[in-house]
Amino acid sequence: MASPLVRLRRHIIAALPSHLPVAYKLGLSISLLMVGGVALLGLVIINQQSRLLHEQLDSFGRTMVEQLAESSKELVLTNDSLALNALIMNLASSRVVMGAAVYDRDGRALARAGLVPEQLNIPSTPNLPPQVSGHAGPIHFQDLRLGTALVTLNPKKQDDAVRHAITAIALSTLVIGLLAGMAAFLMGRHLSRPIDRLMQATGAIGAGDYRFRLRHRRRDEIGQLMTAFNRMAQGLQEKSQMEGALNRYVSVGVARKIMSNLDRLELGGHQVEASVLFADIAGFTSLSEQMPPDQVARLLNTHFTHISRIAQSYRGTIDKFLGDGVMVVFGVTEEDPDHRFHAVACGIMLQQLMHRLNQKQPASPCPVRFRVGINSGLMLAGNMGSEDRMQYTVVGDAVNLAARLMASGAPGQVIVPATLLAAPEVARRVQARPHGNLMLRGREAPVYSYVVDQMTAPYQADMEHRLQALLEAIGA
């Protein structure tokens, strides 16, 4: 169980605000410093004033006793009690003197007035109340001791002076503390204004607004910090613009890899287990001969946009466009344990989309149909090309086989090898029929292949939902 001090500390920490502006901290610090300094100075002044008043009161008391002893020695010798009482009464009538007395050698009072003892025990100190300051001195005539003179003083004057000094210093401390706090707060606001602007700027940069700039005309360290921040924001903006432009030429994953390793761009790669899809427009040569070049370009751009959206839907990445064809990879730029199924699903969805688009334009003399080939396996992913011009792509026998399967297929077909269809995550999700052995260029042994027609029931429903969303997005 936590101790009371620990609990108190937790309560204090919980009560503190989560954010305290620099202006308040600076104002509070300077105010406490000023108040502490003035309070310390006041204590020193009060101590000095009290000591000085005490010394003055003692000096005054000794002087009064000496004068009383000098004035009363002849009266004591002559035993003139009347004159002695008159002298004592006159002395005791002062506002500072509380009492006065003359005692004989045995300590008996010869004359007294005010606050003094009736009898004095010689040579002990007079027994006086604590609020009274007493001073005693001997009365001598030549070498003969005649008695003792006693004067009691009122210390109220000293106490009043000390109290007035304390009051004045306390008021001065309060006024100086308030003025110092206000000045410190204003100064803190002035000094913290650029810091507030820096906080706003960092918030804007954190939110992705790289156009935010700090306007300043400062010639100090904060001005240098603002200049450095503006340079950083400019660099981030340029990098963001570069990445945005790069995303239009390569996939987002590839662009991210390039931007994160700008100082380590080199040829080479690493092996990955991934899938690749090739698709091209069947009969594109004859199709392009029937259309003007600008219309051909619009047709390619439109259908490549469809393929890009379908690939994104199944976590695929456009590797490159090959004339009228496209190469899509799965599980290369980002890890995807289900890359085989995603590649097959992408091919099926492309064929079903083209079938529906052609149905909506039955009178079109040039329907667009794709051939699709898919394969998976080990392939080399990395920067390929030359030192001064390179491209992030995948190469290997698995990639070549996918391209050969596409070329062997008929328009509207998705061709996959038996090894891909044997993967459990693919076999239970698709419906396929044998396509037979294919003797492909560059391979000695035939490759047994299948034509994938569609998804099984539960997965086909999900694809229908995706197709409908895509059709609505393209306004078809």
* pLDDT at residue 239 tops 60: yes
> Does 427 share its domain with 286?
yes
> Does 151 share its domain with 290?
no
In which domain, by residue range, is 84 found?
A: 25-158
In a domain, 312, yes or no: yes
Q: Identify whether the C-beta of residue 407 lies closer than 8 Å to the C-beta of residue 340.
A: no
> Does 270 share its domain with 406?
yes
In the predicted model, what is the mean pLDDT of residues 118-124? 66
Q: Is 3 helix (H, G, I), strand (E, B) or coil?
A: coil
> Does 154 share its domain with 288?
no
In a domain, 452, yes or no: yes
The closest alpha carbon to 97, from 60, 48, 136, belongs to 60
In a domain, 193, yes or no: no
Where a domain ends, among 110, 137, 158?
Answer: 158
In the predicted model, what is the mean pLDDT of residues 127-148? 76
> Does 145 share its domain with 284?
no
What does pTM read for this prediction? 0.54
* Residue with the larger pLDDT of the pair 155 and 115: 115
In a domain, 113, yes or no: yes
Q: What does 292-304 look like in DSSP terms, one character per residue?
A: -HHHHHHHHHHHH
- pLDDT tens digits along 35-65: 777 778 777 877 887 788 778 878 888 888 8
SS (HEC) of 80-115: CHHHHHHHHHHHHCCCCEEEEEEEECCCEEEEEEEC
Residue 430: the pLDDT is 93
* Residue with the larger pLDDT of the pair 408 and 157: 408
Counting the structural domains of the chain, the total is 2
In a domain, 391, yes or no: yes
- pLDDT tens digits along 437-471: 888 777 778 889 999 999 998 899 999 999 999 98
Compute the distance between CA of residue 379 and CA of residue 273 in angstroms, rounded to an integer: 7
Q: Identify whether the C-beta of residue 347 lies closer than 8 Å to the C-beta of residue 316.
A: no
> Does 330 share its domain with 466?
yes
Q: Is 367 helix (H, G, I), strand (E, B) or coil?
A: coil
- pLDDT tens digits along 96-113: 788 888 888 888 888 888
* pLDDT at residue 252 tops 60: no
Residue 82: the pLDDT is 87
> Does 149 share its domain with 275?
no
Pairing label, strands 97-104, 390-395: unpaired
Q: Mark 284-300 as b/e (b = at least 16 C-beta within 10 Å).
A: beebbeeeeeeebeebb
Is the alpha carbon torsion for 287, 291, 297, 303 positive or negative?
negative
* pLDDT at residue 276 tops 90: yes
Q: Is 421 helix (H, G, I), strand (E, B) or coil?
A: helix
Where a domain ends, among 158, 193, 218?
Answer: 158
* Residue with the larger pLDDT of the pair 353 and 78: 353
In a domain, 102, yes or no: yes
In this predicted structure, which of 13-27, 134-148, 261-275, 362-376 has the lowest mean pLDDT?
13-27
* pLDDT at residue 249 tops 60: no
Where a domain ends, among 158, 183, 218?
Answer: 158
- Give burial (CB, 10 Å; 0-12/13-18/19+) of 363: exposed
DSSP category for residue 364: -
In a domain, 100, yes or no: yes
* pLDDT at residue 316 tops 80: yes
pLDDT tier for residue 339 given thresholds of 50, 70 and 90: very high
> Does 441 share its domain with 304?
yes
Q: Identify whether the C-beta of residue 392 lies closer than 8 Å to the C-beta of residue 309.
A: no
CATH number assigned to the domain comprising residue 35:
3.30.450.20
CATH number assigned to the domain comprising residue 440:
3.30.70.1230
Compute the distance between CA of residue 144 and CA of residue 296 in angstroms, rounded to an integer: 143
> Does 305 share its domain with 424?
yes
In a domain, 89, yes or no: yes
> Does 298 share its domain with 433?
yes
The two structure tokens encoding residue 234: 């400019």
- Side chain identity at 97, as an amino acid letter? V
